[in-house]
A = this chain, B = another copy of it.
Amino acid sequence: MDRVLYWSFQIAGHEDSGLVEKRYKNSHIFMKNHYEEHDRILVALDCIIFGFDRSGLKLLLIKRDFEPEKGNWSLMGGFLKREESLDEAADRILHKLTGLKNVYLEQLYGFGEVDRDPVERTVSIAYYALINIQEHDKELMDKYGARWFPINELPDLIFDHPQMVEAAKSRLQYRASHEPVGFELLPEKFTMPELQILYEAIYETELDKRNFRRRILSMDVLVKTDEKQKKYSKKGAYFYKFNEEKYRAKINNGDNLVFKPIKL
């Protein structure tokens, strides 16, 4: 009981100094009252981390190393600190696991059921990330007991993490039908069959390769190289690169550049 009380004092101290330091220009006692009477709550962040390789879409999960649910599979998460924004916190947490900075990371949804965390009331803001599966730090992954799972063979996840994953999957579909997601998930050079496999995985559907190529190429933001990927076929497939400048130019030009190889 001593412990708990001690900790409580610390929190109180924290809150207090925050308030005093940031006292607003027109501050008076009424304002203070208004803010004071409300509950302070833990704010968590959880990251749904997508990767891709030839066998399909993957999710990066960690083995949770503290109670509750210790040892079970979980999304990478952490708690918001007073002095960082939500986006910064999500970045920090993603960096901690993958070693990557400047990753595509987007806020997904705030999960706020009262009992979603059995220990203490916690609101969690979920973010999803698209990363190039080759680029991240293997050592860090070992440290967190992290593993890539095929999107359709996920283990049981703790708390409301399954819901978070579902929400991230739909959001990824939405994004893929409005912007080119391939370029975050694929390495710099990739082949048409690879790009198609990616879209098929995202949309969970099969696409006609002739229609797919035509539509992708008609957007005129890919550059064909003269190298070939010979790992997966005897003939070999040409590598393409994404021309980001051209893409930005088209966007700025107001070209309705929709990266949607199929209707949804």
B15 touches A83 (CB 8 A): no
A113 touches B85 (CB 8 A): yes
Decide if A24 is an interface residue (CB 8 Å cutoff).
yes
Decide if A197 is an interface residue (CB 8 Å cutoff).
no
Q: A123 with B80: in contact, given A31-B68, A66-B30 (CB under 8 Å)?
A: yes
Decide if A81 is an interface residue (CB 8 Å cutoff).
yes
B38 touches A119 (CB 8 A): no
Stretch from A40-48, A188-196, A210-218, A238-246 forming part of the interface with B: A40-48
Q: Which residue of B lies closest to A23 (CB)?
A: B119
Most chain B CB neighbours (cut-off 10 Å) among A26, A43, A107: A43
Question: What 1/0 mask marks residues of chain A from 9 to 44 whose CB sits below 8 Å from any chain B CB?
Answer: 101111110111011111111111011101111110
Report chain B residues within 8 Å CB of A110.
86, 107, 110, 125
CB distance from A9 to the nearest CB of B (A): 7
- Tally chain A residues at the interface, Cβ within 8 Å: 62
CB distance from A145 to the nearest CB of B (A): 16
Complex Cα–Cα for A12 and B13 (A): 10
Q: A42 with B42: in contact, given A110-B86, A120-B19, A123-B80 (CB under 8 Å)?
A: no
Which residue in B11, B84, B118 is a CB contact (below 8 Å) of A114? B84
Complex Cα–Cα for A123 and B117 (A): 19
Question: What 1/0 mask marks residues of chain A from 246 to 263 whose CB sits below 8 Å from any chain B CB?
Answer: 000000000000000000
A18 touches B120 (CB 8 A): yes
Report chain B residues within 8 Å CB of A22.
118-120
Within 8 A of B (CB), among A78-129: 79-87, 89, 107, 109-114, 118-121, 123, 125
Complex Cα–Cα for A43 and B112 (A): 11
B7 touches A36 (CB 8 A): yes
A24 touches B84 (CB 8 A): no
Decide if A67 is an interface residue (CB 8 Å cutoff).
yes
Besides A8-B9, A11-B15, 10 more A-B contacts (Cβ < 8 Å) are: A4-B20, A5-B16, A8-B12, A18-B120, A35-B42, A39-B81, A41-B43, A43-B123, A83-B114, A85-B114
The 10 A-B pairs with the shortest beta carbon distances in the complex, nearest first, are A86-B112, A8-B12, A40-B40, A31-B67, A38-B79, A24-B68, A39-B82, A34-B66, A110-B110, A24-B118
